[in-house]
Structure 1
């Protein structure tokens, strides 16, 4: 396990990359799982794609909130190991309580999703889209529970120095999901052609197999098995549970604020036009795909900063945070350049850009990708800095900053520019850029002034 002793900046860069690399790749592979669904559903027609995008927008926000609560085990585990490398009992307690929260919030999320049709109608969506999207989400929501459990186990293996497990398991899940979609959406291998329902069932199968794969990996690995995270799972650790909620609820609030910004943009797009909504879905998939790398770097920052925070290493905290920021900005510069240089090539992975039937969708999507290229740096920066702040267990104020940036600045701009100016969908995306930039600036100020509020941890 990495030491909490001071490290030169270059050494911290290497240590961060060792964790961030597999996590970022796992995040990219997870997006490939989602992209597989989009590719299959898109072939059912524009209305099916639009309806599924509304459902996915809702479940994405739900999962962000749920994963935010349970991800509080990452800084707690990292800090425990930083204080004492053989912190078996403390790590087990954090993981067990995170699994409790995953199950409890997962069941609540499934119940909420049963009212998706009513919610979509209340937001002004077309009745046929609301009915189709709500029915799809009612089935898809069953995958929430295994996805939440898998996320906790992924955090556990990553904090314990096995992030490559997440990469391998997620890679296998792509194949499982693709086969499930191929069989159940269009009716192959003797299965019935179920359309959107088939895509939902394929997602449930994929999520369940992923959670089971983590269980097998943990039990098969000698270092992970010794923590006995599945032993006495019924035993409560109320103090650890309360601490996890104190840290996790603001993390959930931050992630929901960001995810809610993009998901709400989908509902605004639904009022602008069906073609714009479909283009928004595809363009957002591309932007979200690029975002998975800085998100993985932010996850690594939480772990690396957390190690040093637990060990009382002030210099190490700074090195770990700044190393993560440098890595994140380097990658997002490359992704921005790619979106500027070859947008049609990137878009062709999702739709046939040469098909005249897709002309309107392609035109809108290219406009949105141009704006996405502009906000790549701010999007990556806010993700990495938020991760570093979680490492020093600072979550409440960053949540407030996220709400201000994403909603008071970003969503307000999307509403005004998207619905009350001729910009339409382009205006919605300009609002997204405003929100991300505002949040990045506020969080960066918080990180720069971290010494003012975490000094007590080193006394």
Structure 2
């Protein structure tokens, strides 16, 4: 028999009752989402800090660090998707008021984080021979290896961090996530400054210093969230570390069953944009620079619907867990309206202010930047158009995750990104000679397809049996 989970004081706004209206759902979603949005923006600052400070060392250090992180990121992103399955599963357990399930899910999420790190470290350790097979520069490969052999250990705290973040998100305790992430940005900047350049009496470690700063920052962030979860009265009652060694194979398998498609979906999207960058590289240096500028702007805007998407997973999962079809309806469409509404605004900004925005990245007074600036402005205008579909697809995907629906969305994402988006990008960019505009149009086509089919799937959720429990 399930144990009753009582609401913590002050949590009413985030745990609206089943018969609450649209206004209450809007308030609950916004309250849950805004710290996640800012935390996502802060998380991008972590990477940006590394890029800026490695750039101060010189182009070879920046290139080696970029190669190393490019090699690391697909493994980290895929693993994050798997461990991130803790969020919808905990939300469903919370909706069902099953306290034992919450403890077991989080514990097995930590197990999954440990298993993934143990499996991936030996692969990542072989970065130099792998880069040799890929024909990478030998000198840069040696430098990238120096970074990876330190940074690889951050997998343990980074993935454990995701497990605790998922628990906190499912209980709408997102402000602590924001505080810890912002603190991590500051900590990372100080550690980078100390360890890369040998300031404050520390040894000058250069690339190893950047990697060590990343490792220490993740350790500190993990420790902060772990201490909060284990000591705060709202979460202390779950006794997350009690019999931590005791396996729960059904929960462990469920995390991989739900999470693996999420991880593969994330990888397919990351891979699409990586492939687009490689296609840009065939067009020229100006196209690559312009692509990087437009992508950076689009990525920053994307953090808002991404945070709203996480909120959608939690809100839909809560309603699903308490067998509330109307709550699922309100939660999904409220997040969708907020996400697409924001992206409509960013679309207008990109379409009207693109020439001014790109000047923040390149100095227009230098004649050699003129072509790259013009290209970046044109790419950003196309990015403005696909803001709407990008926001729609991420919120729809997250809403479906709240229903534990991840396998079919994964297949649809692969079709949209790789069977449609990339071929269209190549045909328009090279066969029809639209060049960079064609590549970005292909990206928009792939995202539009995924957005359309996922939104339709959420709209038809009852007809296709996704909410058969909630009847």
Distance 1:139 1:336, change over 3 A: farther
Question: Is 1:178 equivalent to 2:189 in the alignment?
Answer: yes
Indicate which of 387, 396, 402 corresponds to 1:376: 387
Indicate which of 112, 121, 126 corresponds to 1:110: 121
Indicate which of 255, 273, 278 corresponds to 1:262: 273
Distance 1:312 1:354 in 2: 61
Question: Is 1:32 equivalent to 2:45 in the alignment?
Answer: yes
For normalisation by structure 2, the TM-score amounts to 0.88
Distance 1:212 1:280, change over 3 A: farther
RMSD of aligned residue pairs (Cα, Å): 2.7
Q: Which moved more, 1:46-55 or 1:333-342?
A: 46-55
For normalisation by structure 1, the TM-score amounts to 0.90
CA-to-aligned-CA distance 1:231-268 (integer Å, 9 cap, x gap): 22111111111222221111112111112222333444
Shift of 1:345: 5.5
2:218 aligns to what?
207
Question: Is 1:41 equivalent to 2:54 in the alignment?
Answer: yes
Q: Give 3-state SS (helix, strand or coil) of 1:454's partner.
A: coil
Distance 1:420 1:44 in 2: 41
1:74 aligns to what?
87
2:101 aligns to what?
90
Distance 2:366 2:61 in 1: 18
Question: Is 1:291 equivalent to 2:302 in the alignment?
Answer: yes
Shift of 1:430: 3.1
Distance 1:197 1:330 in 2: 43
CA-to-aligned-CA distance 1:89-115 (integer Å, 9 cap, x gap): 110100000011111112322222233
Distance 1:117 1:358 in 2: 35
Q: Give 3-state SS (helix, strand or coil) of 1:457's partner.
A: coil
Query: Any unmatched runs of 5+ in structure 1?
Result: none
Shift of 1:50: 4.4
Aligned residues: 457
1:17 aligns to what?
30
Distance 1:278 1:106, change over 3 A: farther
Q: Conserved in 2, the CA contact under 8 Å of 1:4 and 1:307?
A: no
1:190 aligns to what?
201
1:227 aligns to what?
238
Q: Larger C-alpha radius of gyration, 1 or 2?
A: 2
Query: Any unmatched runs of 5+ in structure 2?
Result: 1-6, 8-14
Shift of 1:334: 2.3
Q: Which moved more, 1:436-445 or 1:417-426?
A: 417-426
Shift of 1:23: 1.2
2:229 aligns to what?
218
Distance 2:358 2:199 in 1: 27
Distance 1:351 1:35, change over 3 A: farther
Q: Conserved in 2, the CA contact under 8 Å of 1:20 and 1:300?
A: yes
2:460 aligns to what?
449
Shift of 1:277: 4.2
1:253 aligns to what?
264
Q: Conserved in 1, the CA contact under 8 Å of 2:355 and 2:374?
A: no
